Amino acid sequence: MGTAVVGVFVIAAFAAMGALERFRNGRALRRMPLRVNVNGIRGKSTVTRLVTAILAEEGYNVVGKTTGTAARMIYGLDREEPIVRKPEGANIKEQVVCIDKAARHGANAMVCECMAVRPEYQTVVQERMLRANVCVIVNILEDHLDVMGPTELQIAEAFSKSIPRRGYCVTVPGPYLYVLERECVKRGSELVVVDESEVPEEYIARFPYEIFPANVALAIGVARVLGISREVAERGALLAKPDPGAAQIVDAKDNDLVFVNGFAANEPSSSWTIWDRMESKGATEKGVVVLFNGRPDRIDRTQQFVEDFFPRLPEGTVLFCMGQGLSCVDKARKAGRFPGVAEYRCFEGASVVPRVLAALAEERYRGWCVYGIGNIHGEGASVISAVEFGFDSVVGGEAGFLLRFAERLLPWTVRGGGGSVRPRRAERRCGSGNASGDGEVAP
């Protein structure tokens, strides 16, 4: 009997705590009538920053929140601070804490990068935590297939769960618009499809860092549905800072090596988009070393590169692989599936990063472009640190050389993806509506 009473008391206590949390969250949301949820595979952080800057320029007291490689709270145009997480890592409850913090800051608008992956958590974030009235779906690409897939269609269906009721969904053209349109009809929301060709190249050139036009088009699309003028939107977007997780092009001072940090572009489509930008800037003219970093818990991502990236590499490309879970790469290479790869090296075991950097410092790669892809964690982060602080600190004097940031080739927004779909005319669909209405664990 005593045990039963204690059990009932514990259940009642947890229920009361849950009710109190919901009350506080609801009160915080009422203080912020405008709430934007930025969803998708690549580019969420960049779009979050762009929309936050536009709203700040319009006069909103806005707080932005990014997640992923370098989670941040962004307070308008003035300042930002890192989000310190507990040892267990990311948890979607983080959104509730950040919403409360934004409300206490006095914000009347909030822009959140969605950190839910599992479809059921997409629903939880939208319906119970944020209740956004504007949703941005940056792109629909193959990633997190183990929990969202195994197909792009299922990924589209998962993202559709973040569409608000009687609000807006802003997205780019693609084969799964019908999925989003269908959900918009159910929820009485309006689907707005932006056209990146409406963002002039002259305007893109004004950004102090490289940025994908599709991401800018999405941010301007959000401004349009909120009644913010194009002039204010373009002026505000230019004030957005690049995300700390953005890639960078770096020049080697002594041997003219160019390093492209694309580790955060961890699927083939985004990696090819960045390759195209590298080519347009002439970074690949002398030769390319592709440096792939694998993770043992992301074998599906490695397999994606084996299927859709490595086989398409241009003739003469050198492929270096490091990290773990590389057996599928070795197997495909031996089977002759990478016809363009002139040289292949796999770095495993102890002291991987120093050995990789020593190999890159060889005279024959002088003037080449080194393109880091795959995953930023583990060895990827170590390589980036070596680039930032100089190879000497890792390799040693004989093979080492110092690096400096290029004067004109500034940060590249790798998370900006945008996919490879060709844009078409902007559309509005699904009802009239109005705007008033990476990795996670279970909440």
Domain parsing of the chain, residue ranges: 20-242+422-429, 249-412
Do the strands 134-137 and 62-66 form a parallel or antiparallel pair, or are they unpaired? unpaired
What is the mean predicted confidence (pLDDT) over 219-228? 98
Site of tokens 């009235």: 133
Q: Model confidence at 353, in pLDDT bands (50, 70, 90)?
A: confident
Q: Supply the mean pLDDT for the chain.
A: 79
pLDDT at 412: 35
Amino acid at 16: A
What is the mean predicted confidence (pLDDT) over 422-434? 33
pLDDT at 397: 35
- pTM here is 0.72
What is the mean predicted confidence (pLDDT) over 19-42? 79
Question: Alpha-carbon distance 39 to 48, whole Å?
Answer: 9
Rounded to the nearest 10°, the torsion over CA 257, 245, 160, 101 is: -170
Question: Alpha-carbon distance 349 to 70, whole Å?
Answer: 28
Helix, strand or coil, per DSSP, at residue 240:
coil
pLDDT at 133: 94
What is the mean predicted confidence (pLDDT) over 105-110? 94
CATH architecture of 249-412: Alpha-Beta Complex (3.90)
CA within 13 Å, CB half, 436: 2
Number of neighbours of residue 408 by Cβ within 10 angstroms: 7
- Quote the distance between the C-alpha of residue 322 and its chain's center: 22
Do the strands 403-405 and 249-252 form a parallel or antiparallel pair, or are they unpaired? antiparallel
Q: Which of 93-97, 124-128, 172-176, 393-397 has the highest mean pLDDT?
A: 172-176
Residue 289 β-bridge partners: 318, 370
CB 364 within 8 A of CB 355: no
pLDDT higher for 255 or 171? 171
pLDDT at 276: 87
pLDDT at 129: 86
Query: What's the distance, Cα to Cα, between the start and end of the chain in Å?
Result: 31
Question: Alpha-carbon distance 90 to 442, whole Å?
Answer: 10
What pLDDT, in 10s, does the model give residues 277-334?
Answer: 888 878 888 999 999 999 888 888 899 999 999 999 999 999 999 998 899 999 999 9
Q: Model confidence at 390, in pLDDT bands (50, 70, 90)?
A: low
What pLDDT, in 10s, does the model give residues 315-330?
Answer: 999 999 999 889 999 9
Q: What CATH class is the domain 20-242+422-429?
A: alpha beta
Closest CA to 359 of 378, 338, 333, 386: 386
Number of neighbours of residue 59 by Cβ within 10 angstroms: 11
